[in-house]
Amino acid sequence: MTPERTSRARIKGQLRQMWVRSYERATAMKRDNYSCTKCGIKQSKKKGAEVKVNVHHKEGIDIWDDIINLITQHLLCDPNKLQTLCEDCHHTI
């Protein structure tokens, strides 16, 4: 039985979660007073009047496939390409 590889969708989901919790995103939201910089509407969690605002990358992210390929090919590689080491030995490589 071969181990199940981490799916591309799961990797993308984890990257998005990392982004949602990032310092950079939180700083942009705070800087813009949790409001849309285009129309001015403010984020609200009030029941019945919920408004969500998002943080948008002005330059876009068109390299999702490249990022996921890098992760799946180099970080989440075949376990036969991995070696367990203590911290001291790992730092000497």
Per-residue model confidence as pLDDT tens digits over 26-38: 999 999 999 999 9
pTM for the model: 0.69
Domain ranges for the chain? 8-91
Phi, psi of 44 (to 5 degrees): -145, 140
The pLDDT assigned to 77 comes to 83
The pLDDT assigned to 60 comes to 86
8 Å CB contact between 28 and 36: no
Per-residue model confidence as pLDDT tens digits over 4-21: 577 888 888 999 999 999
Return the DSSP state at 75: I
